[in-house]
Amino acid sequence: MSIASLIRHLQTSGCIAIVLVSALSTATRAAAAPNVILIVADDLGAHDLGVTGSRFHETPNLDRLAHEGMQFTQAYSACTVCSPTRAALLTGKYPARLRLTDWIPGENRENERLQSPEWTKQLGSGEITLAEHLKTSGYSTAHIGKWHLGGPEVRPEMHGFDLNRGGDHRGQPPSYFSPYGLPRLLDGPVGEYLTDREGDEAVQYIATHTNRPFLLHVCFHGVHTPLQAKSELVDKYRRKPPIPGNSQTNAVYAAMLESLDAAVGRILQSLADHGLETNTLVIFTSDNGGLVLGSTPATSNAPLRSGKGSPYEGGVRVPLIIRWPGVVSPVSSCATPVISMDLPATVLEACGLTHRVDDGRSLARLFRNPDDALDRPFLAWHYPHYHVGGATPYAAIRAGDWKLIQYLEDGRRELFNLRADPAESTNLALQQSDKLAQLTRQLSDWQHSVSAQWPRTNPIAPFSGRQSVWFGFDRHDFAVDGMAGLVVSPKGAAPGRPWVWHGEFFGHKPDPDIALLGRGFHIAYLSVPDQLGSPDAVAKWNRFYGELSRRHGLAARPGLVGLSRGGLYCYNWAVANPEKVSCIYGDAPVCDFRSWPGAFGKGKRSDRDWQFVLERYGFKSDAEARAYPGNPVDQLAGLAAAKIPLLHVYGDADEVVPWDENTGVVAERYRKLGGSITLIAKPGVHHHPHGLDDSTPIVNFLWEHAASPEAHAWRKETIENPGRKAP
């Protein structure tokens, strides 16, 4: 049943008094067809609205819109970044089908492991947009705000919009305060706020188009960076008392969102003022998940993992609210997974048009029955690019409760049950092999059906520098940005090219490394002496990681080995990059510099190393260092959320790095956070000797967690077929 038929049915049953008919003539259709307002926020996270769970942001108008219509609690953007989603919202096509798969113009990273394909950096002139469909049916059409779908030759006017206010090639405004620097939008009075202006333009458009059906495409630049807001609103949020357990704290972002909410409120009021409220379909959504980068992130998508530019739910889950009085029941919600391409299909059916879109499904049946399902087996994504938000080239598929992410660099796969694990914290790829194989086949078939483009492989660069032999294996010593690094290579790399990374004291107790080399691991070490895991050391580790994982093709998630003070390096880097760590093995690791070298507890004092702590971390006094909240023992929540397994080996008589001030604290807190940690105590042993006489538990731990499923399968085959070589 079409929406038009639904309305006739509801009318005859006495439910509503609106008649929507599909007439032959444009004039007749114009008299009965609904107006459509499609509002798209920029970088708005799934949980940024009051109605979607925020306890910090204030969004009364959007909350009211949700109460007057239907909220879709499992809504997805077509991509983890903006331009592809915006193209999908206008065409109803997957970005992969459009070959518009990144924000325009994207990034060109020549030194990455893969190179992006030759993708389309504009909305193609041959694509028929929602505006063009409606315009041919008598609709007036207007675009207000962000466009970001190509240069001057593909402005909104070239894609079916009669009016364009502000849309050009830019992905963000030069300024949110006039003068804006937007050629397609005249500057207002000095200091006028852009979001206010975009709302006013929409209100003015409504006021002048009351006698003809219209499509109003309002794409606010907010809440994209630069984070700029009206000072009085910023002050309001800065004065708010802390909310226990709240992870959304950015006052500027909150102020920007309040302005956006107020602009939406004025649009809704304008509809009411002009008697258009009943016959106007209003849709509100976002182009991707919320931005969570930087030391003061714009927002938090918790409990969803990560944010914009990542393959996880935080990157692609978005708010979606639809209001259409008399058709969509108020105070209703729908948990059926839906996606950006569904919106043009929904609008076309609502307007009585029969045009079919390639990949979207009309949500009309969900208006009638929110528990219904749509006639498709899955949703899918294909992003053959790198993004500063954390994404390396990947593809993903959601079918039912299951979601598969496949990384195109190394073929690594992650499988999550979203019903049981919405935070995507437990990878079930090893436990659910049948489901993994099923989704992998479905994803591959879909990629073929949309002619997905694939990134090009950069040849894996050989290790340069001085070469020598280390216990029968090739050792390479080389420099990265002036820092001394080394890698020991196996005779044949295991699938996925797994590796372990030493925080300090490479070569001490080498038995586990030798065994892992025999299993196809690489062993790596970066010399950053006397840094003790400082922020500068973490930055240097980031550069070394990029060199090894991208230029030399090593796995995206190494196992970390922190011996003694090396624990500070490993844990601090892992805290900053939990998605890049497979596991951590600590051997009498320092997990709190107040214990060693500070000796503010039972640890042994090292004046020299304590001075390094003060200098490298920038502390002005012992008191400031002791109050520092960034020691590993205080920063375990992110590691536990990422389900990073830990192994600690320690002597229970250690007087230098007392286990109960370091390993013991980590174990207690990590377990309370739901993390997994294995402890191997050495009775009566002091800080030395390190390691175990039999290193098998260490080797097995690193092998189990740092090697890919393909590497495990390969090793099983090599044991059963000793003549088989590594691929």
Q: Are 172 and 111 in contact (CB under 8 A)?
A: no
Pick the catalytic residue from 57, 148, 221, 648. 148
Structure tokens at 708: 């890919």
For the chain, give me the number of helices (H) and strands (E)?
Answer: 22, 25
Rounded CA-CA distance 101/668 in Å is 45
Q: In what order do the strands lie in the sheet with 413-417?
A: 379-383, 394-399, 402-407, 413-417
Residue 675: what residue type? Answer: G
Would you list the DSSP string of 283-305?
EEEESSPPP--SSS-S---TTS-
Sequence-separated (6 or more) residues with CB below 8 Å from residue 109: 115, 116, 386
Q: Euclidean distance between the first and final Cα of the chain, in Å?
A: 55
Q: In what order do the strands lie in the sheet with 522-527?
A: 466-470, 473-480, 483-489, 522-527, 499-502, 559-563, 583-587, 646-651, 677-682
Would you list the DSSP string of 387-418?
-TTSPPSEEEEEETTEEEEEETTT--EEEEET
Rounded CA-CA distance 700/647 in Å is 11
Query: H or E stretch including 199?
Result: helix 194-207
Cis peptide before 597 (omega within 30 of 0): yes
82 assigned to active site: yes
CA 568: distance to chain centroid? 27
Rounded CA-CA distance 398/414 in Å is 12
Between strands 214-219 and 35-41, the pairing is parallel
Structure-derived torsion over alpha carbons of residues 517, 522, 527, 532, reported in degrees to the nearest 10: -90
Q: Are 343 and 318 in contact (CB under 8 A)?
A: no
Q: Are 706 and 715 in contact (CB under 8 A)?
A: no
Measured in residues, the chain has a length of 727
The conformation of residue 107, written as its DSSP 8-state character, comes to -
Between strands 163-165 and 140-145, the pairing is parallel
Find the radius of gyration of the CA atoms of the chain.
Answer: 28
Sign of the torsion angle spanned by Cα atoms 183, 186, 190, 193: negative
Cis peptide before 226 (omega within 30 of 0): yes
Residue 647 backbone dihedrals phi, psi, to 5 degrees: -135, 125
Sequence-separated (6 or more) residues with CB below 8 Å from residue 128: 91, 355
Structure tokens at 521: 């691991």
Q: Are 698 and 665 in contact (CB under 8 A)?
A: no
148 assigned to active site: yes
Structure tokens at 168: 């050009």
Q: Are 35 and 212 in contact (CB under 8 A)?
A: no
Q: Are 483 and 547 in contact (CB under 8 A)?
A: no
CA 19: distance to chain centroid? 43
Pick the catalytic residue from 79, 82, 570, 591. 82
> Hey, which residues does 405 pair with through a beta bridge?
396, 414
Catalytic residues: 82, 148
